[in-house]
Amino acid sequence: MRLLIQLQEDCPVPASRPEPGTLPEAVRRLLQEAGATHVRASHPELVGLFTAEVPERAGIGELLSQLKALPEVRHAEVDSFSTTL
């Protein structure tokens, strides 16, 4: 199952994040714990939009709730189209 994650526009870029297409640590950690793969920026012109493949067994509802609770995340949802921009 694929997720779409939109970061806040004013999400600070800490010095430890050298690339603009890198997720904040808290988001990266949650996705890693859920077993996400193919985590990447969706499109170079849509800054802050990421996709991640998450196993069906990952507890998607809970993962989405946790992501949405992070101040760095503007929006998170299941990708109903499952296509890359």
Q: What is the CATH number of the domain that holds 37?
A: 3.30.70
Asked, for residue 83, whether it belongs to a domain, the answer is no
The pLDDT confidence band at residue 85, using thresholds 50, 70 and 90, is low
Angstrom distance (rounded) from CA 17 to CA 14: 6
Phi, psi at 25, each rounded to 5°: -55, -45
Asked, for residue 28, whether it belongs to a domain, the answer is yes
Asked, for residue 84, whether it belongs to a domain, the answer is no
* Per-residue pLDDT reduced to its tens digit, 60-70: 999 999 999 99
Q: Are strands 2-7 and 73-78 parallel, antiparallel or unpaired?
A: antiparallel
* Per-residue pLDDT reduced to its tens digit, 4-54: 999 998 755 444 443 556 899 999 999 999 999 999 998 778 889 999 999
Asked, for residue 30, whether it belongs to a domain, the answer is yes
Classify 6 as helix, strand or coil: strand
